[in-house]
Amino acid sequence: MTNSQQHPSADGILAASKAIDPVFLNSPLIEQQSANAALGLRLFAKVETLNPIRSFKGRGTSWWLHNEPPGDTPIVSASAGNFGQGLAYAGRARGRRVVIFSATTANPGKVDAMRKLGAEVRLEGADFDAAKAAARRYTEEHDCAFVEDGALRTIAEGAGTIALEITEQLARSAVRLDAIVVPLGNGALLTGVGTWIRAHAPDCKVIGIVASNAPAMKRSWETGHPATTETAATAADGIAVRECVPYALDCMKATVDDVWEVSEADISAARDFCRLHYGLVVEEAGAAGLAGLIRHGKALEGVTVATILCGANVRADIA
């Protein structure tokens, strides 16, 4: 299915912005002088944590299901938690059954949130990619489709509406964006954002951020071929992927300028940075863009940068 898909388009992102559930749209874009001073650049942070599922994932799932024909077959996917919440939220609104496979090690709070939104959650496998494999087996056995985050054009286009809003908000203040730094897991957010930026701010650099402990997408980007790692042992569960999504990699080739790695210490520092400078609690993957600026910000010193605080579903024991 992914091989025959077109890449995400700016026109698709614009259409998505008019059809996505408004509860996920027009999130705040904030600037704090203390953050700018600490990083040595001008930073605008897009806050995607204030909607009903506390992450950006509702944008892509809303637009994806908007484009799907009605039916009674279940929506089946794998998720560390946030994408599953997005599917559950969209499925509930349209009366669709949602089955999500998560790892046995998944954040219990995210699992509970998916179930409260009406999803059937099955815990199988030691990590996200093992849960994904279990979900694929389930769809083969029950003759239904597997919804893969990062592998579907409309999900990326929904995520790309974040970049549309950033460019529109900055244009109203006549601010020129030099770079945007985006967490990179399965790739829908990065490729959606990159698609819009390439079309509407072509001089802006698009940079993805992976955890050093989960570098599959970075290795894939560097070689041009899908890579797999043995483990993805990062606290940033939203970007903890062992296996590259080939469709996302193909899209990245036309939309991304660079991919940077960050350590677990950088990710922890980024969460602290969010509390100190923005007064916000952000989960590890949601702060990965900031972690990239903490680690590599010298490369962007003095310029105007945007990032996305893309999730706030933290574990209760480390909130």
Q: CATH assignment of 57-147?
A: 3.40.50.1100
The number of residues in the chain equals: 319
Q: What is the mean pLDDT of residues 192-210?
A: 98
Enter the pTM of the model: 0.96
Tell me if 2-55+159-309 shares its fold with 57-147.
Answer: yes
User: What's the pLDDT at 315?
Assistant: 78
**Of the candidates 265, 260, 246, which has an alpha carbon nearest to the alpha carbon of residue 289?**
260
Q: What are the backbone angles phi and psi of residue 44, rounded to the nearest 5°?
A: -110, 125
Asked if residue 1 has pLDDT above 50, the reply is no
Asked if residue 3 has pLDDT above 80, the reply is no
Tens of pLDDT along 225-262? 999 999 999 999 999 999 999 999 999 999 999 999 99
User: What's the pLDDT at 2?
Assistant: 43
Write the DSSP string, 207-240.
EEEEETTS-HHHHHHHHTS--B-S----S-GGG-
Number of Cβ within 10 Å of residue 310's Cβ equals 30
Q: What is the mean pLDDT of residues 34-56?
A: 98
Q: Which two tokens stand for residue 186?
A: 């399965």
Q: Which two tokens stand for residue 135?
A: 């979900």
Tens of pLDDT along 89-133? 999 999 999 999 999 999 999 999 999 999 999 999 999 999 999
Q: Which two tokens stand for residue 295?
A: 């680690």
User: What's the pLDDT at 318?
Assistant: 52
- For 45-63, b where at least 16 C-beta lie within 10 A, e where not — what string? bbbbbebebbbbbbbbbbb
Give me the CATH topology for the region 2-55+159-309.
Rossmann fold (3.40.50)
Query: For the chain, what are the domain ranges?
Result: 2-55+159-309, 57-147
